[in-house]
Amino acid sequence: MRAMASRDYGFGDPLALATAETGQNARILLVEDRAITADRLAAALAPYHRVDVEPDPGQALQRAPEENYDVILVSLNLAGFDGLRLCSQLRSLDRTRNAAVLMLAEADDKGRILRGLDIGVHDYLMRPVDRNELVARVRSQVRRKRFADRLRDSVEASMALAITDPLTGLHNRRYLDAHLASLFADAARRARPLSLLVLDLDRFKRINDTYGHDAGDEVLREFATRVRLHTRGIDVVARFGGEELVVVVPDASLDGARAIAERIRERIESQPFAVHSGTRTVPVTVSIGVASLQGADAGPVDLLKRADLALYRAKEEGRNRVVA
């Protein structure tokens, strides 16, 4: 049975926001195998929420991770099944652990109620369930859950910001520093090669001086796009400094990495970069230093140092080239 709430208001609708604020219009799963009770509880919640009823605990466990419920009400007294076990599974599954779980209990369930609260079940209701109390307790859980969802979203967003370069959208140096060591350890453990490219635009200062700083920014963004286009998903591309990128290439030998670097160098040189919103183009070239993991390397810092030395030689030898 599915009882629909009043109206399905669109996102951004002030009325929808108002109902969200008051902890209403939530998605609720009621796991109850007594049909009369299930109907009565669903009817009490239906004016405010979207309610699904599921009498079978096995089905409930399959359904819950797919449907993203806000609140799951679980009867502790299902025929031949301990509802507490379902509560515990819902609390531990990745896809359901953010839902609020409430137990429907009877007077002699005191022990299981305490165990339930102990494993993180949010609240409980005693039978016979009072309609007003049901509505109030569900609303308070919806409010708490929405607050927790918002908090989690904003924490995730600021974590993403902390490791992203705002101009290019690439990973920043902080991310590279944090991940290079683990990529290094991973390669050593699997006895696989690991290579690193340091890319630095040639005479970039001149581009800034000639076309302006904004045009320089446009060139940097396009530089990042092209490098990403010519690397794989598992390669880590990071903005290391001003006009300097680092690419970490797992599983690539020195020869393989040199070939990747040469392809990137060629893709930068062959197609002039659009600046001033596409009204003119600028020729750009890049120099690239390449180094690969060697038994003698003490750590990622050595690898970076060798790639940087190779880059220095590429500049010395006339720029627009790859040195490995």
315 binds ligand GH3 (CB under 6 A): yes
Q: Site for ligand GH3 (CB under 6 A): which residue of 15, 117, 136, 167?
A: 167
DSSP state letter for 320: S
Out of 142, 197, 220, 293, the residue judged to bind ligand GH3 by CB under 6 A: 220
Min CB(315)–Mg ion separation in Å: 7
Instruction: Report whether 282 contacts 275 (CB < 8 A).
Output: yes
Single-letter residue type at 276: H
Of positions 89, 140, 208, 253, contacts ligand GH3 by CB under 6 A = 208
Indicate whether 273 belongs to the interface with ligand GH3 (CB under 6 A): no
User: Alpha carbon of 262 to those of 35, 122, 313: distances in Å?
Assistant: 70, 58, 15
Q: Up-side HSE of residue 33: CA atoms within 13 Å toward CB?
A: 14
Q: CA 133, 136, 138: angle at the middle one, nearest 5?
A: 105
CB contact at 8 A, 63 and 16:
no
Name the active-site residue from 156, 243, 266, 316. 243
- 76 binding partner (options ligand GH3, Mg ion, none; Cβ < 5 to 8 Å by kind): none
* Residue count, binding to ligand GH3 (CB under 6 A): 16
**Binding site partner of 115, from ligand GH3, Mg ion, none, Cβ cut-off 5-8 A by kind:** none
Partner interacting with residue 244 (select from Mg ion, ligand GH3, none; CB below 5-8 Å by kind): Mg ion
Report which DSSP code applies to 107.
Answer: G
Helix (H, G, I), strand (E, B) or coil at 306: helix
Q: What one-character DSSP code corresponds to residue 79?
A: T
What is the C-alpha to C-alpha distance for residues 97 and 91, in angstroms, rounded to an integer? 5
- Binders of ligand GH3 among residues 223 to 252 (CB under 6 A) are 242-243
Query: Any contact of residue 143 with ligand GH3 (CB under 6 A)?
Result: no
Q: How far is the CB of 160 from ligand GH3 (least distance, A)?
A: 20
**Residue 48 CA from chain centroid, whole number:** 31
Place of tokens 């400094």: 241
Look up 243 and say whether it is catalytic: yes
Q: Which is nearer to Mg ion, 58 or 283 (CB)?
A: 283
Residues that bind ligand GH3 (CB under 6 A): 167, 200-205, 208, 213, 216-217, 220, 242-243, 315, 319
Residues that bind Mg ion (CB under 5 A): 200-201, 204, 243-244
